[in-house]
């Protein structure tokens, strides 16, 4: 097994000590580094570099090339006020040092900081897409050592807990009027989808335990009837995948047509169970994306966490329908996503101990196999993996949890993953990862120690 290391927002913390850090990562099995967002000053320096000065300036890492944007007929973003030439040079030196060690370089959010888009919905507006393509091309031209890009979004919402919408969108808000032109262009009846969305929301506030129990585990037909036997609801779900797939295809084709070298491109859906609701079709995306990065985020609470999302579905359905049991709500979740949490039965406290060995053997295995089934080469599945003390604002996952996760995923065929992110990497996690992927890290003899910070 091998891994990519995601730097996220602490570029400086790695740049200022990159020789030592890259050597340690390489020895531990890292064969790719994901840089980005490409903005300086977004996080404090790592603990190993706190003695170095910080100017506190937040600024993009390069000036836009006006010729790129002119070529694509869009407005260029403004040049950053602070040029920070020493940092720029050090970032490029770090990227080149990564390549010198035989590790690949990927850029995350390569379209970040694009110029103004058009007035339409961001998944449908051609000027918005062209602006994003131009920014990505500009980024890749500026950093010729980059092997490719990692896209995290856009996507449709997946949370049904209204209070959670500050972190990730509440999917019942996904049909604003700006969507209507896109729906028409793709052959969908916008008004019918809105009506179906409203009927589903009303149904979720008036669930009948008898209907749930009589249709539970009833396959496609049982799920269809449990959710109201609503044909327009199925159209809305199809629209979500078709619209998102088209947008990713446009981005892929736009970059390929405007860049004079081949690059690899990947996108990061949620894990296989939740991905269709977000609009991701793994099989269709794998036809033109070089790799997919499903989020193997299995923690409780926080945001993006697998157990946390199921918990919020169960919690919300009980708030809306006090007559339901936890078991009833889990049947709704199973009907929608195919998820069965071993050991979680009829008490909300069961979620607190959901990360059992059976969970990793069953759920992680299923999520990994479903993702790998969509591609012709398991190397094209590179799940984002987040554990440790503070995974995406969620409950901690121990080094033991990480080992069970990696063991189950590897047994299911996984060859590599992307660790998110290096600023939070703990000694226990690095011990497990390096033992699995490279030379086991020994804190007694190594001159490097993981940062082990608590940052998002």
For 197-239, the DSSP string reads HHHHHHHHTS--HHHHHHHTT-HHHHHHHHTT--HHHHHHHHH
The owner of tokens 């370089």 is 105
Q: Which two tokens stand for residue 427?
A: 């000694």
d(CA 300, CA 306): 7
> What is the average pLDDT across 270-278?
96
* Under 8 Å between Cβ of 29 and 436: yes
Output the pLDDT for position 165.
55
* Under 8 Å between Cβ of 133 and 149: no
Kindly indicate the confidence band of residue 54, based on its pLDDT and cuts at 50, 70 and 90: low
Kindly indicate the confidence band of residue 168, based on its pLDDT and cuts at 50, 70 and 90: low
What's the pLDDT tens digit per position in 228-260? 999 999 999 999 999 999 999 999 999 999 999
**pLDDT higher than 80, residue 9:** yes
> What is the average pLDDT across 67-95?
97
CA-to-CA dists, residue 234 to 55, 154, 240, 344, 374, angstroms: 53, 21, 10, 29, 22
Output the pLDDT for position 454.
79
**pLDDT higher than 70, residue 46:** no
Kindly indicate the confidence band of residue 161, based on its pLDDT and cuts at 50, 70 and 90: confident
What's the pLDDT tens digit per position in 353-395? 999 999 999 999 999 999 999 999 999 999 999 999 989 989 9
* Under 8 Å between Cβ of 314 and 326: yes
**CATH superfamily entry for domain 2-437:** Glycosidases (3.20.20.80)
Output the pLDDT for position 394.
93
Output the pLDDT for position 50.
44
Q: In percent, how much of the chain has pLDDT > 90?
A: 91
> What is the average pLDDT across 191-218?
97
d(CA 125, CA 278): 19
Do strands 39-40 and 59-60 pair parallel, antiparallel, or not at all (unpaired)?
antiparallel
**pLDDT higher than 50, residue 444:** yes
Q: In percent, how much of the chain has pLDDT > 70?
A: 96
**Averaged pLDDT score across all residues of the chain:** 94
What's the pLDDT tens digit per position in 300-330? 998 889 999 999 999 999 999 999 999 999 9
Kindly indicate the confidence band of residue 164, based on its pLDDT and cuts at 50, 70 and 90: low
Kindly indicate the confidence band of residue 285, based on its pLDDT and cuts at 50, 70 and 90: very high
Enumerate the domain spans of the chain: 2-437
Give the three-state DSSP class for 434: helix
In this prediction the pTM is: 0.95
> What is the average pLDDT across 426-450?
97
- Return the H-helix or E-strand segment holding 282: helix 282-286
Give the three-state DSSP class for 69: helix
Kindly indicate the confidence band of residue 163, based on its pLDDT and cuts at 50, 70 and 90: confident
CA-to-CA dists, residue 63 to 77, 158, 331, 427, angstroms: 9, 36, 53, 37
């Amino acid at each position: 097994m091998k891994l990519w290391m995601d730097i996220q927002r602490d570029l400086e913390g790695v740049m200022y000590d990159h020789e030592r850090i890259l050597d340690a990562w390489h020895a531990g099995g890292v064969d790719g580094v994901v840089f980005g967002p490409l903005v300086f000053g977004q996080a404090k320096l790592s603990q190993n570099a706190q003695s170095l000065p910080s100017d506190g300036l937040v600024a993009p890492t390069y000036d836009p090339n006006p010729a790129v944007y002119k070529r694509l007929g869009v407005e260029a973003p403004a040049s950053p006020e602070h040029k920070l030439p020493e940092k720029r040079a050090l970032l490029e030196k770090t990227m080149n040092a990564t390549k010198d060690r035989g590790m690949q370089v990927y850029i995350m959010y390569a379209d970040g900081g694009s110029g103004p888009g058009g007035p339409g919905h961001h998944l449908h507006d051609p000027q918005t897409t062209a602006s994003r393509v131009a920014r990505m091309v500009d980024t890749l031209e500026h950093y010729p050592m980059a092997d490719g890009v990692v896209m995290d979004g856009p996507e449709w919402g997946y949370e049904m807990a209204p209070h959670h919408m500050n972190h990730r969108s509440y999917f019942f808000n996904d049909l604003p009027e700006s969507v209507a032109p896109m729906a028409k262009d793709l052959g969908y009846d916008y008004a019918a989808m809105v009506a179906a969305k409203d009927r589903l929301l009303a149904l979720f506030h008036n669930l009948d335990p008898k209907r749930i129990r009589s249709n539970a585990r009833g396959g496609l037909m049982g799920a269809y009837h449990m959710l109201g036997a609503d044909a327009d609801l199925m159209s809305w779900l199809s629209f979500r995948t078709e619209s998102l797939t088209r947008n990713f295809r446009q981005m892929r084709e736009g970059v390929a047509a405007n860049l004079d070298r081949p690059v690899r491109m990947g996108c990061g859906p949620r894990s296989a169970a939740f991905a269709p609701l977000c609009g991701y079709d793994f099989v269709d995306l794998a036809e033109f994306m070089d790799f997919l990065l499903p989020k193997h985020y299995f923690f409780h609470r926080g945001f993006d966490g697998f157990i946390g999302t199921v918990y919020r579905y169960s919690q919300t359905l009980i708030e809306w329908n006090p007559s339901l049991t936890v078991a009833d709500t889990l049947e709704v979740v199973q009907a929608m996503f195919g998820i069965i949490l071993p050991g979680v039965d009829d008490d909300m406290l069961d979620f607190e101990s959901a990360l059992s060995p059976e969970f990793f053997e069953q759920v992680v295995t299923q999520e990994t196999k479903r993702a790998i089934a969509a591609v012709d080469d398991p190397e094209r599945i590179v799940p984002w993996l987040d554990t440790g003390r503070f995974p995406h604002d969620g409950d901690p996952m121990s080094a033991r949890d990480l080992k069970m996760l990696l063991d189950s995923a590897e047994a299911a065929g996984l060859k590599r993953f992307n660790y998110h992110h290096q600023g939070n990497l703990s000694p226990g996690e690095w011990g497990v990862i390096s033992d699995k992927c490279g030379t086991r890290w020994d804190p007694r003899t190594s001159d490097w120690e993981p940062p082990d910070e608590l940052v998002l």
